[in-house]
């Protein structure tokens, strides 16, 4: 685990970092994001000891890195920067293998590793090993930068706006690839960006910085739902949640008190309850709110003998769990041509109800909020 404790940086009288605290768990990808000049690069450089803090500590697995050997520390950290930092007079293989070469790996091991890394970043070793950086596209150069950072299989990888200079399509591709790679390798990655979409796509956690302070450090989900202040809210974009529909959960949008009835009521009572509440279906539960079935207006009309009880005519509805996301809910409704879906927990207790209208009204309220602002 990596921990920044009360970390301060001053350049002359300018305070660049204002005593920040940050804990990064092993295997997590943490995104540092904030406006230009807020101190992101300075933070990364201090983790790599390229810049020394004015005060405060950086602990790696509990040890103060300032007291550790710098070379050993850097060997265990890959660093990717926006301008790739590839050496123009070295081939792709020489660039990727630079650190292993300095570490005097034997030739065969080194060649194998370079091949492996090229393959990992989606480049054919046969074609690219002997090329020079100038013979590669921007995206390919950045892939080499990523491959080089992974070369010695370090525990920590620092990435400073690695994809910012790329065109949107290539950037998307590299984001996807990094995401997939990270699912597999589970490195500790600190990734700097000023692009919120990128942060949301990649980050296990996002750290929002401004003027040398951390405003909020949490999962993308929490930041989207509960921005710490109006700056974060503005930065995230008020409606951003709708561009991340997989983060919207059934429990966020369901009606919490749907109209329910006990199964021992008769159809006349059921019909009256529907009319009074202006609904066309009733969820039938027992006294412990366990969902037993559903009765619709059609079910009541279809049955002549009005002395039947609701439990005699109810059908068993399909249900979803409270953490199904908006995409899953919409697909479920569409595939089964349903207008509603009860939300239950694992022991069938009724938690809420989602109807197509619920989804529509939640969506439209987002836009109305925006107009008011």
Ligand X SMILES: Nc1ncnc2c1ncn2[C@@H]1O[C@H](COP(=O)(O)OP(=O)(O)O)[C@@H](O)[C@H]1O
Residue 198 or 299 with smaller CB distance to Mg ion: 198
Q: Is 36 in the site for ligand X (CB under 6 A)?
A: yes
| Residues from 42 through 71 that contact ligand X (CB under 6 A) | 42
Residue 36 or 256 with smaller CB distance to ligand X: 36
| Residues from 216 through 235 that contact Mg ion (CB under 5 A) | none
Residue 15 or 269 with smaller CB distance to ligand X: 15
The distance of Cα 165 from the centroid of its chain, to the nearest Å, equals 22
Burial zone of 12 (CB within 10 Å; 0-12 exposed, 13-18 middle, 19+ buried): exposed
> Which phi and psi (to 5°) does residue 311 adopt?
-65, -20
Q: Which does 38 bind (CB under 5 to 8 A by kind): ligand X, Mg ion, none?
A: ligand X
- Contact mark string toward ligand X, 4..33, x via CB under 6 A: -------x----x-----------------
Options 32-40, 69-77, 212-220, 336-344: segment touching Mg ion (CB under 5 A): 32-40
Beta bridge partners of 208: 33, 216
Distance set, CA 214 to CA 14, 39, 42, 113, 340 (Å): 17, 10, 14, 38, 42
| Residues from 79 through 108 that contact ligand X (CB under 6 A) | none
As given in the structure block, the two tokens for residue 11 are 């350049």
Cα first-last separation, the chain: 41
Q: Is 38 in the site for ligand X (CB under 6 A)?
A: yes
Q: Is 43 in the site for Mg ion (CB under 5 A)?
A: no
Residue 37 or 234 with smaller CB distance to ligand X: 37
Coil, strand or helix: which one is 289?
A: coil
Distance CA 145, CA 165 (A): 13
Options 38-46, 183-191, 277-285, 330-338: segment touching ligand X (CB under 6 A): 38-46
- Return the residue of 20, 41, 58, 163 that touches Mg ion, per CB under 5 A: 41
What crossing angle do the helices spanning 138-149 and 168-185 adopt, rounded to 10°?
A: 20
As given in the structure block, the two tokens for residue 41 are 């690069």
| Site residues, ligand X (CB under 6 A) | 11, 16, 36-42
Q: What residues make contact with Mg ion under the rule CB under 5 A?
A: 40-41
């Amino acid at each position: 685990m990596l921990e920044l404790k009360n970390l301060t940086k001053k350049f002359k009288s300018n305070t660049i970092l204002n005593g920040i605290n940050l804990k990064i768990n092993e295997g997590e990808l943490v995104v540092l994001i904030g406006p230009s000049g807020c101190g992101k690069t300075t933070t990364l450089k201090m983790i790599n000891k390229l810049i020394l803090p004015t005060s405060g500590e950086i602990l790696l697995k509990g040890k103060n890195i300032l007291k550790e050997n710098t070379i050993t520390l850097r060997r265990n950290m890959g660093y990717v920067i926006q301008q790739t930092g590839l050496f123009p007079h070295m081939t792709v293989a020489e660039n990727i293998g630079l650190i292993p070469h300095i570490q005097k790996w034997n030739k065969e091991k080194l060649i194998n590793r370079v091949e492996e890394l090229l393959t990992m970043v989606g480049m054919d070793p046969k074609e690219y090993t002997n090329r020079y950086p100038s013979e590669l596209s921007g995206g390919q150069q950045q892939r080499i930068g990523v491959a080089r950072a992974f070369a010695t299989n370090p525990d920590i990888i620092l990435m400073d706006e690695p994809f910012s200079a790329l065109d949107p399509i290539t950037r998307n591709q590299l984001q996807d690839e990094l995401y997939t790679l990270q699912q597999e390798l589970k490195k500790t990655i600190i990734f700097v960006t000023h692009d919120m979409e990128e942060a949301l796509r990649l980050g296990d956690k996002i750290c929002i910085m401004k003027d040398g302070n951390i405003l909020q450090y949490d999962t993308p989900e929490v930041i989207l739902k509960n921005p710490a202040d109006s700056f974060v809210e503005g930065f995230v974009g008020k409606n951003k949640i709708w561009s991340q529909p997989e983060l919207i959960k059934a429990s966020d949008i369901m009606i919490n008190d749907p109209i329910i009835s006990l199964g021992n009521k008769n159809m006349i009572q059921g019909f009256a309850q529907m009319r009074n509440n202006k609904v066309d279906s009733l969820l039938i539960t027992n006294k412990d709110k366990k969902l037993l079935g559903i009765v619709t207006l059609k079910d009541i009309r279809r049955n002549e003998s009005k002395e039947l009880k609701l439990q005699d005519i109810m059908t068993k509805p399909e249900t979803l769990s409270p953490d199904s996301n908006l995409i899953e809910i919409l697909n479920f409704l569409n595939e089964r041509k349903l207008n509603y879906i009860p939300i239950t927990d694992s022991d069938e207790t009724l938690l809420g109800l989602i109807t197509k209208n619920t989804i529509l009204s939640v969506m439209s309220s987002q836009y109305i909020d925006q107009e008011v602002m």
